Amino acid sequence: MKSKKCVLAAAVTVAGVLLLTLTAFGQEKKAPAELKFTAKNGDVTFNHAAHIKRENNDCKACHDKIFQQSAKAPLNFKTGMHKPAETAKTSCGTCHYAGGKAFETKGNCAKCHVKAA
């Protein structure tokens, strides 16, 4: 009888740990609505929510093949990099180029860069 209680207690413990583990791993992290990047010609506020919506909530459209999923990871789209990124279809230039899925960067600086008042 004592061994049956021990087995039952062990089974309940294992089931509890398994349930907690599955619950923790099953919860998705909430993506930030926007990200801010400092730039000399005006800071960029990246509207993450709008980009997610355009990609039908498919995070894999950008992560991790274009951008790492960390807001602290380097953007790799620095001054003088717009044209090379557009040409190579890397970073923001993956979509933001002439004829791309989104507006090209040339002549559209104010769409992303906003100087502090």
Any idea what the CATH number is for the domain that residue 73 is in?
3.90.10.10
pLDDT at 50 over 80: yes
90 and 55 part of one domain = yes
14 and 51 part of one domain = no
What average pLDDT is seen over the chain? 77
State mean pLDDT over 1-26.
Answer: 45
- Percent of the chain scored above 90 by pLDDT? 34
The residue written with tokens 């509890």 in the block is 16
Per 3-state DSSP, the chain is made up of helix, strand and coil in percentages (nearest 5) of 45, 10, 45
Measured between alpha carbons, how far is 71 from 36 in angstroms, rounded to an integer? 9
Q: How many domains does the chain have?
A: 2
Instruction: Look up the domain containing 62 and give its range.
Output: 35-114
State mean pLDDT over 72-85.
Answer: 74
* Type of residue at 15: A
